[in-house]
Structure 1
Amino acid sequence: MTSSTPSQQFPVRGAAIALMATLLTLARDVRAQGPSSEGAAQPEPSAPLSPGEELALMELPFLDLMLPSNTQAFAPRPDHGVFDTTLPGYFRIPTTKVFLKLGIGATTAFTVSSKRLGTPTWFTTSTIPVRGQPFFHSPGAHSTATANPSDISLEMRGKTQLGPMKLLFTTSFAQGKPTFGFHPNYAYAQLGGVLAGFTDSTFADVDAYPSTLDFEGPNALVFTKRAVARYSHRLSHDKQRRMFLHVALEQPGSNVPTSAGEPRDMLPDGVVAWRSEGGWGHLQLAGLVRAVGIQSKDSKASQTVLGIGGNLTGAYHFSRKHTLLAGISGGQGLGAYLNDTGGAQYDAAMNAAGSLKAIPLLGAYAGVTYAWTHMLSSTATYGWLNLWDRDLEASLEAKRFRRSQYASLNLVAKPMKGVLAGVEGLWGYNRAIDSQSGQAVRGQLTLQYRY
């Protein structure tokens, strides 16, 4: 019988021996040609995404004005854009893809005014006493101190199959008097381009607000918060020049003299706004249509007039140090939307024939911010507002508002993030329907810490 080799008798064992020999040879070659396995470079783990990157948020192209009221950060954005995509201060809710932030702003303001005003803590020029009114001849300075502009906020952001999601609730305690009381600022939900809740009117433009220390701001500023249902559509996908179209239905609220009857709101207010923005700044044009009505207290009679107008606003950044902000608004039946006339029965009034008439108005303001250093800046602001209501004197009364001017200049220091200290001088002029007028000046010191 012929003898055979082990490999012939056991073919599997032979194949295994050959494979082991091949692997040993490859290992020897790798050891000879390259670094040892202990020193071999290991693949680096990928860097964790920031909250903004994880939520796919885009950075806003224009500057954050860092307003004391923080309205730019609180305001809803049509594509959920933010000024800082790292979302400082947010933390993830465990086991979810939702990020949460609790914000607090502690603000104290000291003021000294030349006259007693109807709103002691706010510099509302339409409340400056005119000749013939109480407190026109003030015996001396009037001082106030309040912390009621302080605010708290709770914000939630996440990502859904329908797009980014945002929920925000924030309230301040700001009142016209030094007392404390809830002053809701925002309470809204936003999913993609659809928004519902309590927020700035679509007719307003928070990115064009001058950075005044005075909580009220210029007389002709469109400043109102309402229940809003809004859809925003992006018209341009160019990151350097973004354009949007907003269509909204908003909470109505006819402001008419009590002598005319009870306010009657037939329909929600309708607003359409176009907006363009980029590194240079932004421009916004908004149009408003509303029905202003009254209902007689002792009969079924009612009257309704058309309120219609426009608001053109914008900001232009000459550089990161110089910014121009401006706005002009006009129309009829718009009194509820402007600072000096909001909530003061200036949408419409009865004429001598007993017919309801929408009050025409025109207002404009401009502000310039200049940064002296990286921590020191100034803002100068001027506003003008006029109502054509002289033929409505019998309904509104002779001492009611017709025209005003507003001016302010401040110096603000921001030595570190979240800390603000500033002084501001203000001047105001008020003219009544009967042509009597009054003026007032104010000095203000504001201290704030915000997280």
Structure 2
Amino acid sequence: MRTAVTRFRLHAMVGALALAFAAPSHAAPDIDAKLKAMAEQIESLQKQLRELQAASAAAAPSQATAAQAVTPVVAVPATAAATTTVAAVDTAPAKVVTEGSLPNSWKLPGTNTSVKVGGYIKLDVIKDISGGMGGNPTMISYIPVKGSPLAHHGDNFYMSARESRLNLATSTPTAWGELYTFIEGDFYGAGGGELYTNSSAFRLRHAYGKMDRWLAGQWWSNFANLDAFPETLDFNGAVGLPNATRSPQLRYAMPLGTDELAFAIENPEADFFGANTISFQTGQTMQPLNFTDKVPDLTARYQLNRPWGNVAVAGVLRRMTIDNTGGTPINGFVGEDSVNGYGLLVSGRYNYSGNSGLLANFTTGEGIARYIFGSPGFDEGGSDSAAIVDGKLKATRSSGVTLGVQHFWSNQLRSSFTWGAIKTEHPHPAYPLTAIGKQQSFHVNTLWNPLPPLTLGLEYIYARIENDTQPTETLSNKGDASRIQAGAILAF
């Protein structure tokens, strides 16, 4: 306001000066005096104007802040407020990346779906000390008996990155609850070789969706307690574990407080002696030639969860049918016959100090070699669950056990010891005497996490097998092997 007044006075003086110049000449003396006085006033007013402009410029920021602080609140009708809000949202960017609901995830722009990419890169370095374990990873049932030609083919060295894996998880809120999906693969697929490129095919491990209590897709079998599995650098791990086959399944899990009761129907696959187990072809699952899978495998598991650990009891029922009518005889049998299989699992983990714990798994039953990890049939494509005995398909009894301890020396350093064993009661002569009836394995390791995404480890593995032949002076019915394995894992 003061600046405006000063400018008005200056303009008035200039106007008066113009009128004075237009006056008659006889008034010159008076005019000269008046002009001098007016010039002095103009100079004074200009000085005041400059000072006011400088003061106004310095006060502008603080005045703006004060204006924002005292902005009056104006009541807006609800409809107008809604319109204003919508307009503000519409002007915001519609496709931006925001943090997702899963750990280390993001939301797909324009959706409520959270996406997480994960996995790890692993390098294994393996040196056989004595004997051979069938290559990499270990295949305990491939250990040759002492005195056989293969017993002299040990002392191998391997390096591999095939265990490296990649997975993708999503979470989407729906009217029925969260829809969670997970898909994962590694590089233990068929094909490739070590001569030049060390290439290997990507293969499917898991692919499932879960909503509320339902799970549909390919995931670990319900006939297992994953919390009681030991940690090993060896990809296959200890023999005798309940073999949590990665099965296509439909599962219903019912929470009971902190506990869980789960039921599932799972993909069947007959594994009697002589069965031509299925290998996938591109774009197709081939029909079996000498057996029929008529019903799914049925599994049930109850898991008791407590702060100190957990205990699980599980069961499996299955049915195998041989049907080689018009085909090649198996142990002299041609025709169709069926047998039921069943199994029981008792498993648990006890945490005695922080994350340090003891673990145990015991599995037994008839016709369930497929569900015991490391059984001879498992390594050879499946053959130990049943055989033709006296003209009928008869289930074979198998049992497996694992005991272990995992101790955390610190948050970054831990060690594990695991012992496992399998016993299979092969009926002869349905099975040859060379069929492996007993196996044992020992895994001892130490793993170190110098950085959160990096794991470095060293593991010693010892295993032995025994078949049902009579040993001679030159050929034993037993064999053993040992190896050292080092690993580096970079998780992401």
TM-score range, shorter chain: 0.7 to 0.9
Q: Any idea what the Cα deviations from partners look like across 1:301-357, whole Å, max 9, x if unmatched?
A: 211111001111111111224211110000011111222122331111122x23211
Pairing 1:283–2:321 present? no
Gap change, CA 1:183 and 1:434, over 3 Å in 2: farther
For the residues of structure 1 that align with 2:68 and 2:133, how far apart are their CA atoms?
Answer: 81
For the residues of structure 2 that align with 1:181 and 1:383, how far apart are their CA atoms?
Answer: 30
For the residues of structure 1 that align with 2:188 and 2:410, how far apart are their CA atoms?
Answer: 31
In the TM superposition, what is the alpha-carbon distance from 1:104 to its structure 2 partner?
2.9
Larger Rg: 1 or 2? 2
Q: Give the 5 Å matches for 1:5-20.
A: none
For the residues of structure 1 that align with 2:275 and 2:360, how far apart are their CA atoms?
Answer: 36
In the TM superposition, what is the alpha-carbon distance from 1:51 to its structure 2 partner?
4.7
Structure 2, gaps ≥5 residues long = 1-66, 71-97, 277-288, 328-333, 471-476
Pairing 1:386–2:423 present? yes
Q: 399, 402, 413: which is aligned to 1:365?
A: 402
For the residues of structure 2 that align with 1:401 and 1:347, how far apart are their CA atoms?
Answer: 13
For the residues of structure 2 that align with 1:284 and 1:131, how far apart are their CA atoms?
Answer: 39
Number of the residue aligned with 2:236: 216
User: What is the number of residues matched between the two proteins?
Assistant: 365
User: In 2, are the aligned partners of 1:255 and 1:263 still within 8 Å (CA)?
Assistant: no
Q: 335, 339, 356: which is aligned to 1:301?
A: 335
For the residues of structure 1 that align with 2:369 and 2:433, how far apart are their CA atoms?
Answer: 18
Number of the residue aligned with 1:445: 486
Q: 109, 119, 130: which is aligned to 1:104?
A: 119
Gap change, CA 1:319 and 1:437, over 3 Å in 2: same
For the residues of structure 2 that align with 1:175 and 1:367, how far apart are their CA atoms?
Answer: 30
The SS at the match of 1:207 is helix
Number of the residue aligned with 1:235: 256
Gap change, CA 1:321 and 1:349, over 3 Å in 2: same
The SS at the match of 1:123 is coil
Number of the residue aligned with 2:330: none
Residue type of the alignment partner of 1:411: T
For the residues of structure 2 that align with 1:51 and 1:100, how far apart are their CA atoms?
Answer: 7
Q: Give the 5 Å matches for 1:350-361.
A: 350-351=388-389, 353-361=390-398
In the TM superposition, what is the alpha-carbon distance from 1:279 to its structure 2 partner?
2.2
Pairing 1:311–2:339 present? no
For the residues of structure 1 that align with 2:133 and 2:201, how far apart are their CA atoms?
Answer: 18
Q: 136, 139, 157: which is aligned to 2:171?
A: 157
Pairing 1:419–2:454 present? yes
Q: Which has the higher helix share?
A: 2
Pairing 1:205–2:240 present? no
Number of the residue aligned with 2:412: 375
User: In 2, are the aligned partners of 1:121 and 1:175 still within 8 Å (CA)?
Assistant: no
For the residues of structure 2 that align with 1:259 and 1:268, how far apart are their CA atoms?
Answer: 17
Residue type of the alignment partner of 2:293: D
Q: Any idea what the Cα deviations from partners look like across 1:377-414, whole Å, max 9, x if unmatched?
A: 1000001110111x23x333222221100101001111
TM-score by length of 2: 0.70
For the residues of structure 2 that align with 1:287 and 1:323, how far apart are their CA atoms?
Answer: 25
Number of the residue aligned with 2:202: 182
Residue type of the alignment partner of 1:308: Y
Q: 457, 463, 467: which is aligned to 1:432?
A: 467
Residue type of the alignment partner of 1:358: A
Residue type of the alignment partner of 1:339: F
User: In 1, are the aligned partners of 2:133 and 2:481 still within 8 Å (CA)?
Assistant: no
The SS at the match of 1:136 is helix
For the residues of structure 2 that align with 1:235 and 1:244, how far apart are their CA atoms?
Answer: 5
In the TM superposition, what is the alpha-carbon distance from 1:281 to its structure 2 partner?
1.3
Q: 427, 434, 438: which is aligned to 1:403?
A: 438
The SS at the match of 2:430 is helix
Structure 1, gaps ≥5 residues long = 1-35, 40-48, 53-86, 237-241
Q: 124, 143, 147: which is aligned to 1:128?
A: 143
The SS at the match of 2:353 is coil
Gap change, CA 1:114 and 1:292, over 3 Å in 2: farther
Runs of 4 or more off by more than 3 Å in structure 1? Answer: 36-39, 49-52, 114-119, 131-134, 175-179
Number of the residue aligned with 1:10: none
Tell which deviates more after alignment, 123-132 or 327-336.
Answer: 123-132
Number of the residue aligned with 1:252: 268
In the TM superposition, what is the alpha-carbon distance from 1:174 to its structure 2 partner?
2.7
Number of the residue aligned with 1:69: none
Tell which deviates more after alignment, 101-110 or 251-260.
Answer: 251-260
The SS at the match of 2:144 is coil
For the residues of structure 1 that align with 2:226 and 2:100, how far apart are their CA atoms?
Answer: 25
User: In 2, are the aligned partners of 1:115 and 1:136 still within 8 Å (CA)?
Assistant: no
Residue type of the alignment partner of 1:314: G
Pairing 1:169–2:183 present? yes
Gap change, CA 1:134 and 1:264, over 3 Å in 2: farther
Residue type of the alignment partner of 2:145: V
The SS at the match of 2:248 is strand
For the residues of structure 2 that align with 1:134 and 1:289, how far apart are their CA atoms?
Answer: 41
Identity %: 25
Number of the residue aligned with 2:80: none
In the TM superposition, what is the alpha-carbon distance from 1:38 to its structure 2 partner?
4.8
Residue type of the alignment partner of 1:230: R
For the residues of structure 2 that align with 1:251 and 1:134, how far apart are their CA atoms?
Answer: 39
For the residues of structure 1 that align with 2:189 and 2:444, how far apart are their CA atoms?
Answer: 23
User: In 1, are the aligned partners of 2:455 and 2:489 still within 8 Å (CA)?
Assistant: yes
Pairing 1:265–2:293 present? yes
For the residues of structure 2 that align with 1:106 and 1:374, how far apart are their CA atoms?
Answer: 22
User: In 2, are the aligned partners of 1:292 and 1:347 still within 8 Å (CA)?
Assistant: no
User: In 1, are the aligned partners of 2:165 and 2:187 still within 8 Å (CA)?
Assistant: yes
Q: Any idea what the Cα deviations from partners look like across 1:141-161, whole Å, max 9, x if unmatched?
A: 111111000000111112211
Q: Any idea what the Cα deviations from partners look like across 1:245-283, whole Å, max 9, x if unmatched?
A: 111100000112227982322210000111121321121
The SS at the match of 1:252 is coil
Q: 378, 381, 386: which is aligned to 1:348?
A: 386
In the TM superposition, what is the alpha-carbon distance from 1:117 to its structure 2 partner?
4.0
For the residues of structure 1 that align with 2:187 and 2:342, how far apart are their CA atoms?
Answer: 32
Tell which deviates more after alignment, 107-116 or 192-201.
Answer: 107-116
In the TM superposition, what is the alpha-carbon distance from 1:132 to its structure 2 partner?
5.8
Tell which deviates more after alignment, 188-197 or 419-428.
Answer: 188-197
In the TM superposition, what is the alpha-carbon distance from 1:183 to its structure 2 partner?
3.1
